[in-house]
Amino acid sequence: MIFSFTKKKFNKLSREQKHKKCAFVLQKIYHSLLERKTTDLLYEEYQSYLQWMEEKTFIQKDLKNISDQYHFHLALAKVNLKEHNLLPRLRTGDSVAKRKFANNAIYLDNIRSAYNVGSILRSAESFRIGSVHFAKKTPYIDHPKVQKISMDTAKHIPTYRDTPLTDLPRPIIVIDTAKDALSLYDFVFPDTFTLVMGNEEYGTSDQSLKEANYILEIPLYGKKNSINVASAFSIIASEWQRQMLKKEKTHV
C-alpha cells in the first residue's frame, strides 16, 4: 500500500503535525463521499496513521462522524479554520433559490479586501437584494479569495465590473458615518435603489457622496463609530428584507 507518508516519515512529525495530517486525510474522505467516489484506500491510510500514533479511534463511513473526527484532529493540531475552510455542509434545498434577485444595485466603492467582497457576495446571494457592481479597485469574482470566501455563491449572482455609478438606479443610498446621516431604522427603502458600500479605510468616495440622494448609518453605541463593511452590509440587507416582507404581507 502506497500512502502519502511512510511510517518512518510520519513518525518524524510532531504530535500537532500528525493530527493535522489525519485531518487532511479525513477531509479527502469527506469530499470523496460527497462525490460518490471510492474511499477504501483513504480509510486504510487514515487507520494506519492512527495505529502509528497508537490511537484506538475508529470512524464509521458517515459524514457526521467524519466531520466530528476531523475537528477532533484539528483541535489537537491547534489549527483554527476560517469558515470557508470548513467541510461543506449538506442541507436539503440549499441549491433552490426561494426568490429572484430584486431590481436593486449594490455598488462596491473601491472595497479592497477580497475577504469583505466574498462575504458581501454571500450575503447578497442569500438575501437576493440585487445585482452587485464592482468599482475599478474592488477585487472581482475571478479573484481566488473572493471565490473561496463567497463559498461558491459568486457564480449565482448578477455581477458587473466598472459600471459608472451614474448608470445605476436612483435613488443612490450611501452608507457612511457622516454627521447628517439618517438612521437605517428610520429609513423606508424605495422599490428600487442603489446601495453604496465604501472603502474599509476612508469610507465612501467623494464622487459617490456627490451622487448620493440619501446617506444612511447604522446606529452604534460602543466606542467605535463603525463596523466591518461586510457586517454592515448584512445588517442593511436584513433590514431591507424585513421591510420588503412587511410590505408584501400588507398587500396580500
Report CA dihedral (181, 184, 186, 190) to the nearest 10 degrees. 100
Give residue for cell 484506538: 56
Q: Which pTM was predicted?
A: 0.69
Residue 95 lies in a domain: no
**Does 24 share its domain with 131?**
no
**Does 24 share its domain with 136?**
no
Give the helix ranges, DSSP H, for the chain.
7-11, 15-34, 40-52, 63-76, 114-127, 144-149, 206-211, 229-250
Residue 69 lies in a domain: yes
**Does 236 share its domain with 160?**
yes
**Does 173 share its domain with 74?**
no
How many other β-carbons are positioned within 10 Å of the β-carbon of residue 198? 24
Domain containing 205: what range? 105-250
Choose among 238, 243, 216, 247: nearest CA to 124. 238
**Does 150 share its domain with 241?**
yes
List pLDDT tens digits, range 8-40: 999 999 999 999 999 999 988 888 887 788 888
**Does 60 share its domain with 164?**
no
Residue 92 lies in a domain: no
Domain edge (last residue) among 55, 85, 115:
85
CA distances from 53 to 23, 74, 108, 175, 177 (A): 14, 15, 50, 54, 55
**Does 76 share its domain with 142?**
no
Residue 99 lies in a domain: no
Residue 90 lies in a domain: no
Distance CA 169, CA 194 (A): 6
Q: What is the pLDDT of residue 252?
A: 60
Length of the chain: 252
Residue 100 lies in a domain: no
**Does 187 share its domain with 132?**
yes
Residue 242 lies in a domain: yes
Looking at the structure of the chain, the number of domains it has is 2
**Does 158 share its domain with 213?**
yes
**Does 79 share its domain with 114?**
no
List pLDDT tens digits, range 196-235: 999 888 889 999 999 999 999 999 888 877 789 999 999 9
**Does 226 share its domain with 127?**
yes
| Residue 101 identity (one-letter amino acid) | F
**Does 130 share its domain with 12?**
no
Are 226 and 115 spatial neighbours (Cβ–Cβ below 8 Å)?
Answer: no
Provide the CATH number for the domain around residue 126.
Answer: 3.40.1280.10
Q: What is the pLDDT of residue 2?
A: 57
List pLDDT tens digits, range 79-89: 876 655 566 65
Domain edge (last residue) among 57, 85, 113:
85
Percent of the chain with pLDDT over 90: 52
How many other β-carbons are positioned within 10 Å of the β-carbon of residue 192? 14
Residue 130 lies in a domain: yes
pLDDT band per the 50, 70, 90 thresholds, residue 93: very low
